[in-house]
A = this chain, B = another copy of it.
Amino acid sequence: MAKATVHVTLKNGVLDPQGKAIQHALETLGFSGINGVRQGKYIELDLAETDSEKTQSAVTDMCEKLLANTVIETYRIEVSE
């Protein structure tokens, strides 16, 4: 059993309406000194595969095919037991 986590974040330069809205809302709530907020996705996968290299490559494949839109997003994969 392996657990893989994937962080999908917007590429630099891609507009992030959600991040901007969060920053604005935080400022309205009285928080100051916020230089920037970016929002991404965090995906946890429970996999039957135990070989971590195979997991890594399968998850990369999942990211390329579905989990990330590489026109606007990048991803980062971590595999643990």
User: Which residues of A approach B to under 8 Å, CB–CB?
Assistant: 1, 7-9, 19, 22, 25-26, 29, 31-49, 58, 61-62, 65-67
Contact = CB atoms under 8 A, between A and B. Distances in A.
Contact of A25 (B7, B9, B66): B66
Q: Which of A32, A43, A65 has the most CB of B within 10 A?
A: A43
A34 B22 contact: no
A31 B7 CA distance: 19
A22 B36 contact: no
Q: Which 5 A-B pairs have the closest CB atoms?
A: A33-B48, A42-B42, A35-B46, A36-B46, A40-B42
A66 B65 CA distance: 32
A58 B49 CA distance: 40
